[in-house]
Structure 1
Amino acid sequence: MGPAAPLLACLLLAPLRLGAAPSKGPNCDPQAAAIVGGSSKLQRQGGALVYQCPAGQYPYPTPVRLCRADSRWSPLSSRDGRPLAKAECRAVQCPGPVEFENGQFHPRHTLYNVSQTVTFECFEGYTLRGAPTRTCQPNGKWSGETVVCDDGEGQCPDPGIPIGAMKDGQHYRVEDRVRYRCRRGLEMLGSSERTCQESGVWSGAEPECRDRSTYDTPEEVSAAFISSLAETAEVADPNRTLSDTAKRKIRIEPGGSMNIYLVLDASDSVGEGNFSLARDALVQLIEKISSYGVSPRYGLLTFATDPKVVVRTTDPQSSDANYVSDKLGELKYQTHALRSGTNTRRALEAVHNMIIEQEHDELQQGHKVAPVANSTRHVLVIMTDGNTNMGGSPEPVVHQIRELLSIGRNREDYLDIYVFGVGALVNLPNLNSLASHKSDEKHVFSVQDMKDLQKTFHHMIDESETLSMCGMGWEFPEASDRQKNPWHVSIKVTRPGKGVESCKGALVSEYFVLTAAHCFNIDDQAQWISVDLEEGAGGSPGARADRGNRVVALRSHPKYHIGGLQGAGVPEFYDYDVALLKLEKKVPSSFTARPICLPCTEGTTRALRKPHPQTTCKDHERLLLTAGEVQALFLHEGKDPQSQKKTLQRQTVHIKNGVKKSACEADAKKASIYVNVTDVSQVVTPRFLCTGGIDPVVDPNTCKGDSGGPLIIAKGKRYVQVGVISWGVVDVCKQRQKQAPAHARDFHLNLFTVLPWLREQLAEEGLGFL
């Protein structure tokens, strides 16, 4: 027996009979299938009986009974073949862990009641990843994420074992595979097999073992769906125009940028009520997509025994959101009343044909199609219960669509298939077989009530543009340095009669730049400071007319005091080396100016594709500053070897956050200014991150002009700043022709350690600090 959750009576379900008129159906006695502790609602003159239970309970052994032709309620037996027990409302429970590697958990139960917790601990030598304590929730799911005890030895991180699952495979090198299966009675969402890739990321989606009646809350759906959808919308096409009053716009090129296919199940098993709610939810979804400033082409179809295409992507008005919304609102469930079976295969074949038609049109217009140079992204949103009863499996058609679009390791971003379970009898394995399986993403959702999905899409519309889109850099080949790193700024301090000093920084909000405090003297005035937000030497000439942005306030951390240890013979002390510059003019988000993500903000939660508000600041730290060697990057202005023009170069380094951390920090005493330091903790406080050296690989080093710039961790296509470049042991810029010594280390102010100050200073910037 697995976890379960209630299904409300407002989930309308029609009898599973092809073409039968409601008035001529069999007549079953509702009292013969009454539920103990709950109530039921009769649909369509005895066609279906849907149970409802009080909150925290679920209908057992089935949420729905259907009236058979012989006037008996089906199913007559349970899933294991035994005679069906009398329906009753039972308390929701969560399944217990089946396997847990390199550690232990307690208490040990097969099932846990709502609000019960399970605590995980790792054996010595292993680092715990994930929340150590998880709680059974009212929807039959556990709070938090899969807990892992990892030794950091694999080329991919230990993928862990989700609760309720078993795993085969214990090696995590490139091309190694792990396979999962669920405990009896539970069904799997996600990928049953995953492969360690060269990028250090596991292929596929993390598996989840759940009972058929477990559901996703609106908050879970919103968090998971919006992060993936936002990613797709943002990378669809880089060409956009912005203004202070207009929302973001994406200009669709002749070759197209994004197609969205809305596929709505109108079969008997879904029922008219759920059809109407799903239709209205899709209207809300179109509004959400429009709020991104995206104008994709839409394809719209309903299906039962046959598909009915309402809007084609080749229609002239297919990119008009208002037109498509109107067409959605006009859809009638009765359109499929005479042929009301479920043929999902034919519906997907209609989508496949639509893609072929569009590519044919594009070729006639002289545009290139996949796999040559086509950059059109395709998104399928399918609303169905997954109960196909004719036409065969639809899964082969998904493979045909993938082949047509040349979807593979290098083009996975160009196809997303989201499947939403509709109705009371959702077939999760069938939904899972249709959906995309991508690392750190979720594409299958099953809600308790279709009204919840409507609310989810509606709430998504109000999401802040600033929160959701921080840290977005463009990776296409033609992108300029500024487009790839839109948060990068150059800072100049022009002191009267004393020359100019330069530093770097990062745009963190519409009005603030984050940099290092040591870039400024105690008597520096804000009017002496300017911030360059434009391209620099490698940019387009026309972009440099208004490159400077005046600073109206300089705010260094109050605990920063470079002379704080001079009495102990330490000439320079860089603890709390962080500062904020407030700009005179607002910097609206654009193609070439966008804030980087800061830790412990709602924007970073979305960038990490984690649920909000469940995700905590501690979760951010575990995800970003994991144990061992953490790959990061900083930006350095250097000369292109071929053109000799100044370019902004990304330099990959490794944060020593494991066994090599002590050795990294110990090299600080080899700095010329610290020859008198006997205890390295005097100058390397817990507020520093250390990079550099030659073990396990040679790290490039920062130069003096890089000071104040961000130390960044990339997560997919999003970038999160975790540190500020502060000081280094060796000035490698003075010995460019020589190899840097092994003790050449760099130290960066760890932003996680100054979050109270950042939260206070940026309180009015709408970043949503956790």
Structure 2
Amino acid sequence: MGPRALIRILACLLLLVPAGSGAAVAAEGSCDPEGAPILGGQAEVADRGRWLRYICPEGKYPHPVALRACRSNGMWSPLRDTQNRVVAKAECRVVRCPGPVEFLHGTWWPRQAWYNMSQELTFSCFDGFTLSGSGVRTCLPQGTWSGTPAVCDDGGGHCPALGVPVGATVSGGGLRAEDEVQYRCRSGLTLLGSAHRTCLEDRTWSGTPPLCRTPYAYDTPRDVAAAFLASLSETVEKAEANTSLSDSQKRRIRIEPGGTMNIYLLLDASDSIGTDNFTRSRDALSQLVEKVSSYGVFPHYSLITFASEPHVVISTQDARSADANWVREQLEGLKYKDHAYKAGTNTRAALEAVYHMLVQQEEEQLRHGPAPAPVVNSTRHVLIIMTDGKTNMGGSPVPVVKQIREMLSIGRDIHNPREDFLDIYVFGVGAMVHLENINELASKKPDERHVFYLRDLTDLQQAFHDMIDESETLSMCGLGWEFEKARDQQKNPWHVGITITRPGKGRETCKGALVSPYFVLTAAHCFTIDDKASWITVDLGDRSQPMTVERLHSHPMYKIGAKASAGIPEFYDYDVALVKLNKAARVGIDNGVRPICLPCTEGTTRALRQRHPGTTCKDHEQMLLNPGDVGAFFVNQHPHEGRQVLERKNVLVKYGDKRPACEADALKATIYRNVTRIDAVVTPRFLCSGGIDPYVDPNTCKGDSGGPLIIAKGKRYIQVGVISWGVVDVCRGQKMQGKNRSPAYARDFHINLFTVLPWLREILADEDLGFL
């Protein structure tokens, strides 16, 4: 994707709904987990003993259930299978994939009812028919098949032939206009997608391709991300929302200049959710808001928590509903106990709150006079529902979805169905998901998936990250993985190791930060005037082989010996360098490689949630380096338990009244003991950190030289400095002297990137960073 290929995750409706069994739940920890073991796996309690979760090894699943509730009588809920039969004991069973029931105009091999993990299934067509889709599919560890459904087609129909999902039967089957087909999954499997599809006049099929799933067949985060992205737009355009698109154009979310996107966040706080899941869901929502707001668009948010009743925390009509910072503050202030005394599950009421919000929006517009197109009808509404699909009060939520569609004039006019103005994606999360119900709520659109089933909230976090990741989009700089399973390099994907191997003179190492696919920013003092590019290699974290270098660019004003005649042996002014790689770094989520944001670029404008054009470089400086103590961090790499770990060290940049004292300690460096003037060694191009006021700052080590000094803005990271030099190498000193605390005069100095911007602009002119 190009630099304007922005993801279209622009609305989120989260529902985490309980089982709806109506049974009372016991007090904390009153059920004995030792009395409910699982054969071949392990059991763990959750939410302070109110739930028991079964965990099986890879390739196995808990039978007959993965989750049991602690009842009021002090007993765990009974074990019942899909036929509601009582099972004597829980056990981990081998994951298997269901076999085909029928395959039109062809055959398959081997012919089995069930297939083991890694087993292959091969399809072939009869004479006169051409095979499309996946001719060979593999049974995956989560109980799903690789690839896409195989189809045999002779090209003679008005509409193309349709495949039959593995595990399903089909009836109807005509390929003429208005012909219908119906799908049914075999016993024990649940259909996801469209059970009925119609051949349309435009030679396409209505609805979305169906799948037949076992109760334990989860989607992987990567599969979810890929399928979700496939149904989302490649661009976010500032265009009139009612503009018609040709059939050849991909479906897009279109944002008007005034901002016509509503994001609805509905968070379940009912009894069976529990504090742990509520907190994780709230945090995931906060992360999603942070990321969505970074794409340079300014949607309006709504936040609703619900249990027996909904509580509208934020309405899309609130004056600050487009302020992502404020929205995140409201999210982070939510408490699970707010619904403690009315802790049922009323999904219908939660959706009705959204519907009434639409009505209020239209009424508000009418009070201000008629307009050519009602705002509510020209606004995109995309719902992402995360639920188990079960409710225990209020009735079915499906009729409310129909009301919302009617309100938005969707489906009234066959020539202008307006389906693009409402998308409902449903994410089932956890062991209590009711697949049939979540499928009923989801949108059914051609060649798109709108319903997904994830194992747990950790997988949900990863899926959310994957599906909004733009690997080649520099406007998404400074974005690291934040979920629990992320590796160190994925959390700090800009981190770079640099090695200079001088023939006959040994090696020197420094750190740096990837600022574009071709360039690494580091310190000039890492190199000598005689160093050749061929002596330098760059380690991009998880890459197996270091990258070679095409050219080294040190700042032309940097001269380490510029003041040697004045008794100053080392002078670090303009201590910055750019290393150009021989080939572009493979930026991506898998290998943990992504550029960090640089000040005064379009990417940082988006990270700061400012509008472009209109934001200036001075605006960036004021937002990032306000006078006072500025919170920042650097990344220290060190060995731990046999491996190299990356650890963020938080510091305060002394940018206010503490700055003079910070700079004055520079003269306590051994090499400056005979220097009397601070400005002889500390120029305006330095930022200063360290010391013990207002608290003890961590200090950089010698090996940290060249690394970035970073300021976090929400979940986005912006480099403001390059680590240059320190008053004392506290790491070496503490190791030699056995000290645990740095001296008060231990200070670090970093080149302020705002002061070397002309040089950065010149060297990085072809990197499409969009310097302001």
Q: TM-score range by the shorter chain?
A: 0.5 to 0.7
1:43 is matched with 46
Match of 1:109 among 85, 109, 112: 112
Tell whether 2:198 aligns with 1:198. no
Who is 1:453 aligned against? 460
**Paired residues of 1:370 and 1:405 also in contact (CA < 8 A):** no
Q: What is aligned with 2:428?
A: 421
AA paired with 1:412?
E
Match of 1:574 in 2: none
Secondary structure of 2:231's counterpart equals helix
* 1:386 paired to 2:389: yes
Aligned to 1:155: 158
Decide which of 109, 121, 126 is 1:123's aligned counterpart: 126
Q: Which residue of 2 aligns with 1:136?
A: 139
Contact 2:19 2:390 in 1 (8 A): no
Partners of 2:268 and 2:306 within 8 A in 1: yes
- Structure 1 residues 136 and 217: alpha-carbon distance in aligned structure 2, compared to 1, 3 A threshold: same
Indicate whether 1:284 and 2:248 are aligned.
no
Q: Equivalences for 1:34-73 in 2 at 5 Å?
A: 34-44=37-47, 46-73=49-76
- Structure 2 residue matching 1:73: 3-state secondary structure: coil
Aligned residues with identical type, % of pairs: 56
Aligned twin of 2:100: 97
Deviation at 1:324?
Answer: 1.8
How far residue 372 of structure 1 moved from its aligned partner, in angstroms, is 9.9
Cα displacement string for residues 285-338 of structure 1 (whole angstroms, at most 9, x for unaligned residues)? 223433432211111111111111111111111122222222222222222222
Match of 1:263, SS?
A: strand
Alpha carbons of 1:463 and 1:367: their partners in 2 closer, same or farther (altered >3 Å)? farther
Identify the match of residue 212 of structure 1 among 206, 209, 215: 215
Which deviates the most, 88-97 or 421-430? 421-430
Structure 2 CA distance for aligned equivalents of residues 286 and 91 of structure 1 = 39
Q: Which residue of the partner structure matches residue 185 of structure 2? A: 182
SS of the aligned residue for 1:171 comes to coil
- Structure 1 partner of 2:308: 305
Structure 1, residues 683-707: CA drift from partner, whole Å, max 9, x if none?
xxxxxxxxxxxxxxxxxxxxxxxxx
Cα separation, partners in 2 of 1:325 and 1:317, compared to 1, 3 Å: same
Aligned to 1:33: 36
Letter in 2 for 1:29: D
Q: Where in structure 2 are the equivalents of 1:171-570 lying within 5 Å?
A: 171-230=174-233, 233-234=236-237, 237=240, 252-254=256-258, 256-366=259-369, 368=371, 374-408=377-411, 409=414, 410-464=417-471
Structure 1 residues 15 and 78, CA, compared in 2 at 3 Å: closer, same or farther?
Answer: closer
Q: Secondary structure at the match of 1:457?
A: helix
Cα 1:21–1:105 change in 2 (3 A) is: closer
For residue 432 of structure 2, what is the amino acid of its counterpart? L
Aligned to 1:639: none
Corresponding letter in the other structure for 1:442: R
* CA–CA separation in structure 2 for the residues paired with 1:82 and 1:250: 51
| Residue 344 to residue 54, structure 1, CA distance change in 2 (3 Å) | same
The aligned residue for residue 537 of structure 2 is none
Aligned equivalents of 2:59 and 2:302: distance in 1?
Answer: 39
Cα pair distance change 1:81/1:18, threshold 3 Å: closer
TM-score of the superposition, structure 1-length normalised?
A: 0.55
The secondary structure found in structure 2 opposite 1:138 is: coil
Q: Secondary structure at the match of 2:278?
A: helix
- Please report how far the alpha carbon of residue 51 of structure 1 lies from its aligned counterpart in structure 2 after TM superposition: 0.3
Q: Cα gap change, 1:42/1:230 in structure 2, threshold over 3 Å: closer, same or farther?
A: same
TM superposition shift of 1:765: 10
CA 1:237–1:229 in 2, change beyond 3 Å: closer, same or farther?
farther
Report the 3-state secondary structure (helix = DSSP H, G, I; strand = E; otherwise coil) of the residue aligned with 1:134: strand
Q: Deviations over 1:121-147 (max 9, x none)?
A: 000100101111000001110000111
Aligned counterparts of 1:145 and 1:460: Cα–Cα separation in 2? 20
For residues 527-576 of structure 1, what are the alpha-carbon distances to aligned partners after superposition, in whole Å with 9 as ceiling and x for unaligned?
A: xxxxxxxxxxxxxxxxxxxxxxxxxxxxxxxxxxxxxxxxxxxxxxxxxx
With over 3 angstroms needed to count, the CA separation of the structure-2 counterparts of 1:17 and 1:43, relative to structure 1, is farther
Give 2:433's aligned amino acid. V
User: Following TM superposition, by how much is the alpha carbon of 1:388 offset from its aligned partner in structure 2, in angstroms?
Assistant: 0.5
Across the aligned residues of Structure 1 and Structure 2, the Cα RMSD in angstroms comes to 3.5
Q: Which amino acid aligns with 1:99?
A: E
CA contact (8 A) 2:68 2:78 kept: yes
Change (3 A) 1:461 1:274: same
| Runs of at least 5 residues in structure 1 that lack an aligned partner in the other structure | 1-11, 240-248, 470-509, 511-601, 604-610, 614-763
1:271–1:157 CA distance, 2 compared to 1 (3 A): farther
| Cα displacement string for residues 230-260 of structure 1 (whole angstroms, at most 9, x for unaligned residues) | 3584487579xxxxxxxxx987445x52212
2:490 corresponds to: none
Q: Secondary structure, in 3 states, of the residue corresponding to 2:233? A: helix
- Report the Cα offset of residue 371 of structure 1: 7.6
CA contact (8 A) 1:117 1:135 kept: yes
The 2-side partners of 1:56 and 1:304 are apart by 35
- 8 Å contact from structure 1 (residues 265, 383) kept in 2: no
Distance across 2 between alignment mates of 1:216 and 1:311:
32
Give the TM-score normalised by the residue count of structure 2: 0.55
| Aligned 8 A contact 1:383 1:422 in 2 | yes
Q: Is the 8 A contact 1:269 1:387 kept in 2?
A: no
C-alpha deviation, 1:352, in angstroms: 0.4
Q: What is the deviation of 1:419?
A: 1.5
Select 2:90's aligned residue among 81, 87, 92.
Answer: 87
Q: Is the 8 A contact 2:241 2:379 kept in 1?
A: no
Q: By how many angstroms is 1:28 displaced?
A: 3.1
**Structure 2: tracts of 5 or more residues without a match:** 1-15, 243-252, 477-516, 518-585, 592-765
**Is residue 274–residue 422 contact of structure 1 (8 Å, CA) maintained in 2?**
no
Shift in alpha-carbon separation, 1:440–1:288, aligned structure 2, 3 A: farther
Hey, what does 2:657 align to over in structure 1?
Answer: none
1:449 to partner: Cα distance: 1.8
Taking the aligned partners of 2:18 and 2:396, their CA distance within structure 1 comes to 22
Q: Secondary structure at the match of 1:280?
A: helix
The CA distance in 2 between the partners of 1:76 and 1:398, in whole Å, is 34
Measured in 2, the distance between the counterparts of 1:283 and 1:129 equals 42
2:446 match: secondary structure? coil
CA deviation after TM superposition for structure 1 residue 22, in Å = 6.0
CA shift, 1:43, in A, is 2.9
